[in-house]
Structure 1
Amino acid sequence: MSANAHGHTTAAWTGVTVSFIGFMLAGVAMVMPSPVLVVVGLVLAAAGAIVGKLLSAAGFGKKSSASTVALAKESATSGASV
């Protein structure tokens, strides 16, 4: 799975981090009980997906499939010669 760089991008890490912070905030707010902070945390968690998509569209996500195929072919030919 590491050959296709699944999740190893700036967009993926940022989106997951924003979502994680939102879920943490919502979880703490449930214990406190603060309904307003629960909603803010859940909105922040959902915003993580949007942030990830926006960063991916801006070029910080996974590269196009054509370059991935070329890279896979290159690594396959270099591995065969060993």
Structure 2
Amino acid sequence: TFEVKGGIKAGKAVMNGVKLAALAVSLGGIESLIQHPASMTHAGVSKKDREDAGITDGLIRYSVGCEDASDIIADLGQALEKIK
């Protein structure tokens, strides 16, 4: 779990920018997953309640799967470059 500057827009950009990780909360498999709680699992929760729970607009959840570590790092790096 990490946070990006730029709020919901930046969080969505990173989430949608990765190519290797599946956009999902959980699939029960071994693949990498990415999600943006503010626009997915907690979209119906008020911003105040989300923040009180530690879920900021720029929070990203990334579950690392069994892909090659260098591929994961490169993929996440290119997605983060899009919000610079």
TM-score, normalised with respect to structure 1: 0.29
Q: Which has the larger radius of gyration?
A: 1
Q: Which one has the bigger helix percentage?
A: 1
Question: Which structure carries more strand by proportion?
Answer: 2
Higher relative contact order, chain-length normalized (CA < 8 Å, sep 6+): 2
